[in-house]
Amino acid sequence: MAIDNPLGHRTEYVSHYSPELLFAIPRTVAREQLGLQQDLPFRGEDRWTAYEVSWLDSKGKPQVRLAEFILPSDSPNIIESKSFKLYLNSLNQTSFDDDRKVKSLLSVDLSAAAGAPVTVNILPLHYAKSCLVDEPIGSYLDDIDIEVSHYQPTPELLQVSATQQANEVVYSHLLKTNCPVTDQPDWATVFIEYAGAAIKHESLLAYIISFREHQDYHENSVERLFCDIQKYCQPERLTVYARYTRRGGLDINPLRSSYPAGQSLLESNVLRTIRQ
């Protein structure tokens, strides 16, 4: 957008509506490093949850809500998370007649920043009963006893069985990446669903752990995971879904999939994890 990336800079918290705070980052920069062209090998979305959304009603009374935002993975831009938080905070002392006005405004501004339509849902707090922490689906990888020596993405660790086929979901709580600007740690639970030659679980866990010192945004890290697994394991179908721990009142949950729409278990099971 029209301002410099706010990450790594002293911040003034604006409490009146300021859409210019939103900072867009082109997806092409990271995708070129992965060798991705215009025809992407996946579809998907970035699912954001905001837990600190507030404004004033027409009588000056504060309102609080949860909000969900869905950015399509084929949008030209991602939205930098600190700028997203600053933008949401700019609503704090701004008056709106009702939730619909807030939803409409958010949709217009975020779609302009992303360069594609962004779905917005404004949710009352009693909605929380339907978004409680749930048990992850799939096989748990983290109890596998392995020796680890790689802490930068090392896809060469990935191995598949020469004889066994699988159609499974596996998950790990050990995905950690780092902000490319501030180097702050970003923690996530990552789910992988695939069909094809069975991926050796110990190799997959070692590969996931190898992201531990990797610097990149959440969305780009998930796309690297997808592309590496696709290249080295060659599954017939693949979904990678990461649920990142909330920071600054926002969690970011990118999903990338080659499954036809409606056929991925992960796409139909939007799980809020224990660290969110």
Task: List the structure tokens of 63.
Answer: 């309102």
CA dihedral 169, 171, 175, 181 (to 10 degrees): 50
Q: What DSSP element (H or E) covers 166?
A: strand 160-178
Q: How far is CA 46 from CA 16, 119, 138, 148, 151, in A?
A: 27, 11, 21, 30, 25
C-alpha to C-alpha distance for 222 and 227, rounded to whole angstroms: 9
Spatial neighbors of 205 by CB under 8 A, at least 6 apart, are 141, 142, 144, 146, 172, 174
Q: How far is CA 75 from the centre of its chain?
A: 14
Residue 131 falls in the annotated catalytic set: no
Residue 179 falls in the annotated catalytic set: yes
- Specify which residues 71 forms β-bridges with: 46
The 8-class DSSP code of residue 121 comes to E
Q: What backbone torsions phi and psi does residue 90 show, to the nearest 5 degrees?
A: -70, -10
Q: Choosing from 4, 109, 134, 186, which is the catalytic residue? A: 186
Task: List the structure tokens of 263.
Answer: 């056929």
> What is the three-class DSSP state of 150?
coil
Q: Choosing from 46, 179, 227, 251, which is the catalytic residue? A: 179
C-alpha to C-alpha distance for 27 and 18, rounded to whole angstroms: 24
What HEC string does 181-232 produce? Answer: CCCCEEEEEEEEEEEEEEECHHHHHHHHHCCCCCECCHHHHHHHHHHHHHHH
> What is the three-class DSSP state of 175?
strand
Catalytic residues: 179, 186
